[in-house]
Structure formats: structure tokens, C-alpha cells
């Protein structure tokens, strides 16, 4: 029963990739260096949300696109770029552009996220807001990916459920936040791009949020599950695969989700212990679900909500809009929270919705942030919304 | 409350990446085409385990390395390679090599796995063994990532737990398989590279395996959790970060894991309802854990086990090896299953261990496969081992 340890080490070594480069390197002063080994390349660039965005003209007016910075070739074919200034503490994304080839993943950084059909690297700058998105030495909740039966839709569907630290042993019942994703997202989006697990663990550990269950379903009713997790196989994610996103079926089938959660988890089955929030399309869903079932939610969060006139929407869900809203606000939610970025393309439609709420004197809280329709804002909104729940 | 739907569509479009290329394209006859857009490149190649391996000389003798195939440049800068023959049904991996730059991820395939410090794309060829690794229209189990307290090690640690379809509602108690990863792996390895969820869902649905819980802990005692999931942050995974992998601490602290599982899940707390199996380092751990606690497991699986003389191992766990093995086989496990590939670098040490078992007339089942120290074999072994459990 002998094999030379050196042979074992050698065989493992071959699995290790081999590059000894560190990238990104976050320096003590929070400047960051990116490195890429490409001895034959003529140009290597980096792009991501850590760079100031560029404004470009489009047929729809000025829009923000990610900035681009040039790396310089150094010794041994290793290209390098260091940010001129320290970065604010945040979770950032980036990819390289090598001789015009876009979306090249950093070979020295295994941490990637997917947004619809694209992958990009991520990194965390600590010392501020980024600490909230980090895994810290605090009690950790559990995350479960399970399947629930949806009789309304006719098949089983996958969802993601966060239970707070101590859930397993406490014997207690918990309030529930239902947290919905945007178009192109799925039941994975909030825990990957949204850092929900870390935000919840950290806020609860700091005593800033009540221990609660967070339920993250899939808002695309034609999908059983996220790309790669369903019987559709390992297909290329595309919008046109999802014809039914904002036409009432998600809202109509939502009680199936609540039923599963309330049958299988120790939850408090009361309006005062239920919250719903969503980003973009998920904000649209949250708006319509909360008014369709006016006795269900005492807390509503609309994050950059896609409050749009939907010409496909002949569903009964969308009919009698103002009448249903009136019924919802007869016993008004304890918190109706709207947040949007100043440069969000949905800014105007959100202001118009505010006018409607104001006209009827429906009470809500409005939060305006910098920036546009981006995950940085949705993580921010989640971390501000959650401490206000279940007071 | 209006925003033009076209603006919304446009803004979403910008998130979508944009390339209309399909890669890999799996044709009806199971040949596969890979495509890569690189108009300025001089050479584009693909490498992966779907190509016949090349044998190269090394100081340790001949070893297998992945084959490489050239793509041809076609119209519009799109390079292409089609396999000359249909591929056998399997889960495969690949990356591109662009002008010598290795490990380039396919920009049109969002499905990637990580092995230690490298990412690669995956694809599935159906119609045979690959169907077992696919998400099919069958009842699905749940997967939970939770944290358990390890008093032996002094901190909380993360693990992954599969519960079979119906667990939530059945009220029944289930048998448990403890499934351990290899060096460089973690509590994510068996569900990503090993396709454990799909294998279990499919075998149980076909009636080929008993419904059971599968517990996948982290075998690196210095880690709280997988890279990126612990307070170590988003560091670069490296072997030298893990000094304590095969020196007794995993075996000594293992009862903490069993305690958590048996306190928090509805399990049958009997030797006849407990199994342990592991690959490579996890096989080594399984061997030592099962003999250290001879009354714990009636089923033991050693997959390409790293049965090595370990000069670091002055732990009491490794002392009196033959004496402990004798006690284990006094009330011999119902199944002691060893499997290894013919070209595995651990082949010889496994044969020497067989001789030891034979010498003492300890009963075991031996399975020899083609190939070496690779995940394809470990998925195969898992799918053969599981149907033999808890008969």
C-alpha cells in the first residue's frame, strides 16, 4: 500500500492550472491590480463596473456603458493595470478584452457570476459596504434549492430558500420575505448577483434585521428552473425562450409558492409576517401580486420596478388596476417602499406611478439612489429594505 | 405609468451579450461542433476530455494529457471544429486555446465548472450514460448548503446535503450516504463535477436506488467552506493553503458531522443504514473513518482511493492499522467496494491494498474500469455503488 507521495503531488499539480499570477490583487489601500498573461497579444484591456461608466449616444438618448482601461505589457508577457485611485468598498465585476476579443474571463480568478447569457469575474473590496456582501465569521443561515408543485402551471418548479442561522434547532416560527428577480434572471439570481445570503447573515448577526426566511422563486413561468437546472438541458439562455414573463401567469400562480412554503417551513402565516419585493420585472410582479392578494403582504418593495404599460397583458390580473390598488390601500401595507436610481431607464415611469399614488394619498416611502438599472443598486435596496421588515 | 416597451427591450438587450453563435452544437447524430468568434486570431484550438488523450513522456513515465484539435476559420471570423465521429453519451469538458492562450472559456456557453483553480466549460451528450447526469422530468430532491458546528475543530463548517424527492412530506426516516471529495475539492465538488443530484434523482426515479440522504462535507479541515464561501474571501485556491488534508483530523472530527445530520434530519441511526464513500483523498478518508468507527458503516466505497503511506501521519487514527481493520472485519461491512481505473496513478497502491485484504480473507468487491484518475470514473463509480446500498 505504497505510492510515492511525489507522484501523488505531481498528478495533483497537473490539475492546478499552473499560473502563479495573482489577479485581481487588492492592495491594502484598496487600489486594485489586474493581470493577464498574453505574451502574443497586441492589446489587453479590462472593462467592468469598477471603472467610471462612459456615456454614449444611442437612438434612445445618452446611455451608460462600462468604462475600459488599457493594461500595459510587462515582463514575461504579463499585462497589468492598477486603478489610479482606491476603489470604494463594493462588489465589482470585470472581464478582459484581448485584441478585441470581448468577455475574456480572468484565468486567475475562479469567481464568476452569470447574468442571463454572459459570465464575468467578480471581486470584493472590503472596509465598507463590501463587508456586507462578504462571508464573515458570523452565524450562517442555510440555503436550499427545492422543487414545489405548481398546480396552476401544471408542473414542478425550482426555488431557492434561505433559512436564518438557528432555524434548524429553534423550534420557532419565522416571518417570510418573498424576493423576486428581473427579466433574464431566475431562482439563482438573488443569491449569486444579489449576495442575499451574505446580506441576510450579516444584517441578522448585527441585529439590524429580524431573523426571517427568504424565498426566491423563478419568475419565468415557462421555466421549471434556472438554465442548466431543468429538463431543457444545457441550452443557451435567450429572451425569446421566455414568452410568458409579464402577462399575469406569475401573479396568478403565486399562491402555489406561498402554499409550499407555509406547508413545509415553520413560518408565521399572517399578513404582518409576509413581505414581497422584487427588482425590475420582479418589482412589476410584486406590485401586481400584492394588489391581487391584498390581505397577503404588509411589506412591499419595488426595486427599479418595471412599471410599464404591457400591451400583451390581457390577463384578469391587470384589469381594474386602480380598483384593486384601492382595496389594497384600504388596509394599507405597513410599508410600501419604492427605490430607483437617477439614471435608470425606468425612472420616468416610476415617477408617474408615484403621482398616481400621491393622487390617491396612498402612503409609500420613496428612495432615490445614484446610478441606473444595475445589481449594485438592488443589493443596496435589499440591504435597506430588510431592516424595515417585521418591526 | 408608461414607458415604451421598446426601450425596455433595448435596455435588456444590452445585458444579453449579443453573440448569436451556438457552441457547442450537439447534432442529432451526436457529433459536436464548437464555434469561436475571433476575427483577428491566427490559431484557435479546442481541448477537453471528449478528445482522445495524448500520451506524453514525463519524469514519472508516460502520462495522459488532454487531446487538442484545430478549429478552422470560416465566414465572419467564426472558427469551427466538428468532431469526426459521434461522441459517446457522457458529460464532457473543454476550453479553447486562442493563439496559445490557454483555458479560454467559450463565450457562448455559460455552463462552467471549477476544479481547484481552473474553470472549464461542460456539455452533455444524451442517449446513454449522459442521461443519468441530466436533469430529467422526474421527481427532484432538494439540495441544502448548511453549516454545522465542529467542536473537535473549533469552528462552524459548511456542508452540502441532498434529500430525496418526498423527504419534506413523507414523515419517514431515511438511510444516509456520506460522500467525500478528493484533494483540491470541497463540499461543492460532488454536486458540480460529480453530478450527484442528477444521478440520485434519476436512479431513485428508476427504482434502481433506495431513497436516501447524501451528505457531502468538506474534507479539508483547515477550511470552513469551499473557496469563496468562507471568511477567507475570494482568494485564489491553492494546495499549500491546505496543510491538513491527510493527517487524521478529518477522520477524528467526522463524528461531529454524523451528529449534526442525525440531530437535524430524519435518518435511520443504524450501521445498516449508513454508507461512506469517497474519491482519491476521500477514499483514503473513507477507509480510515470506517475502520476507526467499526460500528458505524455497513457500506464502504473506495473510489480511486489514495491508499498511500503518509509520512506526515503520526495521528493515532493511522496507528495499529491492521488491528483496526481486523476489528472492522470482525463484523464485516455488508459491502466493501473498491473501484479504480486501469491507468490511474494509484492503481498499484490499490492492488497492494487488495493483497492485504486477500491475505486476511476480508471480503470486498473489486471493480476495474478504463481510464485514470478522472471525474468521469467517479460519476460512474457513484452510479454503480449507490444501487447496492441499503438492500
Extract the runs of DSSP E, i.e. beta strands, from chain B.
25-26, 32-37, 44-48, 54-58, 61-65, 67-70, 72-73, 78-82, 91-98, 101-104, 112-115, 118-124, 142-150, 155-163, 176-180, 213-216, 274-279, 299-303, 335-341, 365-369
More confident position, A130 or B100: A130
Buried b (16+ CB within 10 A) or exposed e, B49-68: bbbeeeeeeeeeeebbebee
What whole-number distance in Å separates Cα of residue B324 and Cα of residue B336? 15
- What pLDDT, on the 0 to 100 scale, is given for residue A311? 56
**Which of A39, A146, A348 has its CB closest to that of B3?**
A348
- Minimal-distance CA residue of chain B relative to A121: B234
Per-residue pLDDT tens over the stretch B245-292: 888 999 999 999 999 999 999 999 999 999 999 999 999 999 999 999
Cell numbers 438557528 correspond to A166
pLDDT in tens, A72-83: 999 889 999 999
**Residue B24: cis peptide before it, omega within 30 degrees of 0:** yes
Q: What does each C-alpha distance from A51 to A24, A47, A92 come to in angstroms?
A: 14, 7, 9
Q: Give the torsion through C-alpha atoms of B5, B11, B15, B19, to 10 deg.
A: 80
Decide the pairing of beta strands A44-48 and A91-98.
antiparallel
Q: What is the average pLDDT score of chain A?
A: 91
Q: Between chains, do A101 and B139 touch, taking CB under 8 Å as contact?
A: no
Contact B182, B174 (CB under 8 A): no
Q: Answer whether residue A234 shows pLDDT above 70.
A: yes
Q: What is the mean pLDDT of residues A196-200?
A: 98
What CA–CA distance (Å, rounded) separates A278 from A337? 11
Inform me whether the pLDDT recorded for A240 exceeds 80.
no
CA A378, A380, A382, A384 dihedral sign is negative
Q: Lowest mean pLDDT: which of A242-246, B86-90, B328-332?
A: A242-246
- As a whole-number percent, the residues of chain A with pLDDT over 90 amount to 83
Q: Is A2's pLDDT higher than 70? A: no
Residue of B nearest to A114 (CA): B110
- Which helix or strand (DSSP H or E) is residue A101 part of? strand A101-104
Q: Coil, helix or strand for B24?
A: coil
Q: Which of chain A's residues have a Cβ under 8 Å away from the Cβ of B111?
A: 228, 234
Interface test with chain B among A234, A279, A313, by most B beta carbons within 10 Å = A234
Which residue do the cell numbers 420557532 mark? A172
C-alpha–C-alpha distance, residues A183 and A172, integer Å = 35
pLDDT at A7 over 60: no
Spatial distance between the Cα atoms of B173 and B267, rounded to a whole number of angstroms: 5
The pairing of beta strand A274-279 with beta strand A176-180: parallel
**Residue B150 CB neighbour total at 10 angstroms:** 20
Tell me if ipTM is over 0.90: yes
Q: What's phi and psi for B11, nearest 5 deg? A: -65, -40
Decide: A261 and A149 in contact? Cβ < 8 Å. no
Highest mean pLDDT among A168-172, B316-320, B382-386: B382-386
pLDDT at B246: 85
State which H helix or E strand residue A55 sits in. strand A54-58
User: At B215, is the pLDDT very low, low, confident or very high (cuts 50, 70, 90)?
Assistant: very high
Q: Where are the alpha helices (DSSP H) in B194-304?
A: 196-205, 249-264, 281-292
Alpha carbons within 13 angstroms on the beta-carbon side of residue A252 total 18
Query: What span, in angstroms and rounded, lies between the C-alpha atoms of A175 and A275?
Result: 8
**Which residues of chain B lie closer than 8 angstroms to A167, CB-CB?**
none
**Confidence (pLDDT) at A14:** 41
Task: Report d(CA B126, CA B124) in Å as an integer.
Answer: 6
User: Do residues A216 and A255 touch, judged by C-beta distance below 8 A?
Assistant: no
Torsion of CA B77, B83, B86, B90, to 10 degrees: -90
C-alpha cell at B317: 487514527
**Pick from A17, A112, A122: CB nearest B112:** A112
Take residue A95 and report the three cell numbers written for it.
472581464
Measure the CA dihedral B297/B302/B308/B312, to 10°.
-40
The secondary structure of residue B150, as a DSSP letter, is E
Residues of B in contact with A109 (CB under 8 A): 234, 236
- How big is the CA angle at B371 (ends B370 and B377), to the nearest 5 degrees? 90
CA–CA min distance A210, chain B (Å): 19
Which residue of A233, A235, A282, A348 to mutate against B (max B Cβ within 10 Å)? A233
| Cα dihedral A70→A71→A72→A74 (10° resolution) | -170
B124-150 pLDDT per residue, tens:
999 999 999 999 999 999 999 999 999
pLDDT at A314: 81
* pLDDT tens-digit map of A271-290: 999 999 999 999 999 999 99
Q: Report the candidate in B123, B125, B142, B130 with the shortest Cα–Cα distance to residue B204.
A: B142
Pick from B40, B79, B110 the residue to mutate for testing the A interface (most A CBs within 10 Å). Answer: B110
pLDDT at residue A8, as a whole number: 43
Q: Which residues in chain A have Cβ-Cβ distances shorter than 8 Å to B136?
A: 231
Judge contact between B290 and B333, C-beta under 8 A. yes
Using DSSP's 3-state secondary structure scheme, residue B73 falls into strand
Interface contact flag, A234 B122, Cβ < 8 Å = yes
Please measure the distance between the N-terminal and C-terminal CA atoms of chain A and give it in whole angstroms.
63
Q: Please write the tens of the pLDDT for every residue from A285-307.
A: 999 999 999 999 999 999 999 99
Contacts of B17 (CB under 8 A, 6+ apart): A103, A116, A117, A118, B107
| Closest by Cα among A78, A94, A16 to A41 | A78
Task: Name chain B contacts of A39, Cβ cutoff 8 Å.
Answer: 100
Mean pLDDT to the nearest integer, B339-352: 95
Q: What is the SS3 assignment for B296-364?
A: CCCEEEEECCCCCCCCCCCCHHHCCHHHHHHHHHHCCCCEEEEEEECCCCCHHHHHHHHHHHHHCCCCC
Distances (CA, A) of B13 to A51, A77, B9: 22, 36, 6
Amino acid at each position: 500500500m505504497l505510492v510515492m507521495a511525489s507522484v501523488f503531488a505531481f498528478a495533483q499539480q497537473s490539475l492546478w492550472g499552473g499560473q502563479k499570477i495573482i489577479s485581481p490583487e487588492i492592495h491594502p489601500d484598496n487600489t486594485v491590480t489586474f493581470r493577464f498573461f498574453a505574451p502574443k497579444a497586441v492589446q489587453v484591456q479590462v472593462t467592468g463596473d469598477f471603472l467610471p461608466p462612459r456615456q454614449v449616444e444611442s437612438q434612445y438618448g445618452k446611455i451608460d456603458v462600462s468604462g475600459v482601461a488599457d493594461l500595459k505589457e510587462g515582463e514575461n508577457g504579463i499585462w497589468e493595470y492598477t486603478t489610479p485611485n482606491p476603489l470604494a468598498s463594493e462588489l465589482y465585476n470585470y472581464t478582459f478584452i484581448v485584441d478585441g476579443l470581448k468577455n475574456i474571463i480572468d484565468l486567475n480568478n475562479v469567481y464568476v457570476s452569470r447574468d442571463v447569457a454572459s459570465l464575468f469575474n467578480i471581486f470584493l473590496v472590503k472596509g465598507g459596504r463590501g463587508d456586507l456582501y462578504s462571508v464573515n465569521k458570523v452565524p450562517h443561515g442555510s440555503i436550499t434549492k427545492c422543487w414545489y408543485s405548481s398546480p396552476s402551471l401544471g408542473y414542478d418548479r425550482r426555488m431557492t430558500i434561505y433559512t436564518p442561522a438557528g432555524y434548524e434547532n429553534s423550534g420557532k416560527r419565522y416571518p417570510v420575505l418573498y424576493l423576486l428577480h428581473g427579466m433574464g434572471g431566475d431562482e439563482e439570481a438573488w443569491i449569486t448577483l444579489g449576495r442575499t445570503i451574505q446580506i441576510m447573515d450579516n444584517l441578522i448577526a448585527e441585529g439590524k434585521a429580524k431573523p426571517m426566511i427568504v424565498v426566491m422563486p423563478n419568475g419565468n413561468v415557462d421555466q421549471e428552473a434556472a438554465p442548466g437546472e431543468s429538463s431543457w438541458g444545457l441550452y443557451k439562455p435567450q429572451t425569446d425562450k421566455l414568452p410568458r414573463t409579464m402577462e399575469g401567469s406569475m401573479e396568478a400562480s403565486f399562491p402555489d409558492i406561498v402554499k409550499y412554503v407555509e406547508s413545509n417551513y415553520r413560518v408565521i402565516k399572517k399578513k404582518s409576517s409576509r413581505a414581497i419585493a422584487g427588482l425590475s420585472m420582479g418589482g412589476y410582479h410584486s406590485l401586481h401580486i400584492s394588489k391581487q392578494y391584498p390581505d397577503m403582504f404588509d411589506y412591499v418593495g419595488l426595486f427599479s420596478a418595471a412599471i410599464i404599460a404591457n400591451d400583451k397583458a390581457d390577463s384578469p390580473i391587470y384589469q381594474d388596476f386602480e380598483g384593486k390598488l384601492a382595496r389594497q390601500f384600504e388596509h394599507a401595507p405597513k410599508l410600501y417602499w419604492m427605490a430607483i436610481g437617477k439614471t435608470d431607464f425606468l425612472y420616468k415611469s416610476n415617477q408617474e406611478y408615484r403621482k398616481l399614488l400621491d393622487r390617491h394619498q396612498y402612503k409609500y416611502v420613496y428612495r432615490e439612489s445614484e446610478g441606473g438599472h444595475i445589481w449594485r443598486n438592488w443589493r443596496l435596496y435589499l440591504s435597506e429594505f430588510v431592516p424595515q421588515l417585521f418591526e
